[in-house]
Structure formats: C-alpha cells, structure tokens
C-alpha cells in the first residue's frame, strides 16, 4: 500500500504543478507569465482518489486469490487422478496374478500335451492382451498428467501476466494523462509555437 500511496502523491503533485501553468511554453522557459494569449486546456485531468486505487488493489487481490484457488483445485484434481490410476494399476496387477494362479492350476490339471499347448498359447495371448491394455492405460495416464501440468503452467503464466499487466498500466496511466493533458492544444501537439 505504501507504494500506491507514493504513486498517488507523485501524480497529484504533477497535476497540481501542470495546472498552475497557463501555457506549455512556460515549462520550458521557466516563466509563469507569457506575452502571448493564454492557451485554453482542452483536456480536463481528474485526480485519482484513494478509493479508486483501493478498488483496483482489491480487484487485483481478488483475482490473485481466485487464480490461486484454481491452481489448488487443479493440483487436487491431478493428485486424485494419480491416486485413481495407481489403484487401477494395482487392481490390474492383482487380476493378472490371480489369472496366472488359475492358469497354473488348470495347466497342472491338464494331462494331454495337446491341451497343454493350446492352453499355453491362450495364456500367452491373454498375457499379451493384458500387457497391451496396461501399456495403453499407462499412455493415457501419462497424457492426462501432461495435460494437467500444461493447464497448471498456463494458469501460472496467466496469473503472472495479469499481475504484471495490472501493475504497469495502472501506475503509468495517470501520470501520462497529466503530462499529455498539459501539452496538447486541440487534437494536435503544441511544440511551443505562439498562437
């Protein structure tokens, strides 16, 4: 808040100083009176009051809090997805283990070599399908995690950009208006020519 107060004081001082000059050439020559007719001001500058600065600061704080809440929610969602995928992988591994136990029991029970060969081929095929499903699930999990990370990076970049954008123009705009307001005549810039 101290910085905002100092900015407000600087802008107010500059506006008071510029409003005391009747002619923009007075600033260059150091005179307060000019022999030429006074130039009417075409733009009216209004001082920025403390309430407006406080409203802008409150808006910035609220936006920051909203973005932080969004980031926390995204992190919670990502952790939930990771936990869910981990549970799915454990369940799939347990199913594979139980299937292997059942297959081994069936294999031991079969006497003929032909049946045993057919069963081994079926088991190999089943293991291959399980491995393919597990690989596909892992790829999907990795893609979901990468998308979540990209969302968090974009959110953090947006927060930083918004914070910079709201700080820089808000501080420069009143001073620029005050300086431009004292140096313009009509819509054209007056370069010190007496009219």
Mean pLDDT value across residues 30-40: 48
* pLDDT value, residue 160: 87
pLDDT at residue number 97: 92
Q: Is the dihedral of CA 167, 168, 169, 171 positive or negative?
A: positive
Q: What is the pLDDT, as a whole number, of residue 56?
A: 82
Q: What is the pLDDT of residue 95?
A: 92
Share above pLDDT 70 across residues of the chain, in percent, rounded to a whole number: 62
What integer pLDDT is reported at residue 188 of this predicted model? 54
pLDDT given for residue 179 in this prediction:
54
pLDDT tens per residue across span 135-154: 999 999 899 999 999 999 99
What's the average model confidence in pLDDT over 94-122?
A: 82
Would you state the pLDDT for residue 118?
Answer: 80
Q: How far apart are CA 181 and CA 44, in angstroms?
A: 7
pLDDT of residue 92: 92
User: Token pair of 18, please?
Assistant: 């510029």
Residue 193 or residue 100, greater confidence = 100
Q: Is the pLDDT of residue 83 over 90?
A: yes
Domain ranges for the chain: 2-189
- Whether 106 shows a pLDDT value over 70: the answer reads yes
Between CA 125 and CA 129 the distance in angstroms is: 6
Residue 112 or residue 39, greater confidence: 112
Tell if the pTM clears 0.75, that is, is over it.
no
Residue, of 38 and 137, whose pLDDT is higher: 137
The two most distant CA atoms of the chain are separated, in Å, by 122
DSSP line for the chain: -HHHHHHHHHHHHHHHHHHT-SSTHHHHH--S--SSPPPPPSS---PPPHHHHHHHHHHHHHHHHHHHHHHHHHHHHHHHHHHHHHHHHHHHHHHHHHHHHHHHHHHHH--SHHHHHHHHHHHHHHHHHHHHHHHHHHHHHHHHHHHHHHHHHHHHHHHHHHHHHHHHHHHHHHHHHHHHHHHEETTEE--S---
pLDDT at site 32:
47
């Amino acid at each position: 808040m101290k910085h905002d107060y100092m900015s407000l004081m600087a802008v107010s001082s500059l506006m008071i100083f510029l409003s005391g000059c009747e002619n923009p050439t007075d600033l260059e020559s150091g005179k307060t009176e000019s022999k030429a007719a006074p130039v009417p001001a075409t733009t009216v500058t209004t001082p920025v009051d403390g309430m407006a600065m406080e409203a802008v600061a409150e808006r910035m704080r609220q936006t920051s809090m909203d973005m932080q809440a969004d980031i926390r929610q995204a992190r919670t969602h990502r952790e939930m997805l990771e936990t869910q995928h981990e549970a799915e992988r454990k369940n799939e591994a347990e199913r594979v283990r139980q299937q292997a136990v059942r297959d081994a029991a069936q294999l031991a029970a079969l006497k003929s070599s032909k049946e045993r060969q057919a069963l081994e081929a079926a088991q190999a095929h089943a293991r291959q399908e399980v491995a393919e499903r597990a690989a596909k699930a892992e790829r999907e999990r990795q893609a979901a995690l990468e998308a979540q990370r990209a969302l968090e990076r974009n959110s953090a970049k947006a927060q930083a950009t918004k914070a910079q954008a709201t700080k820089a123009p808000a501080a420069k705009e009143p001073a620029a208006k005050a300086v431009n307001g004292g140096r313009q005549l009509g819509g054209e810039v007056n370069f010190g020519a007496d009219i």
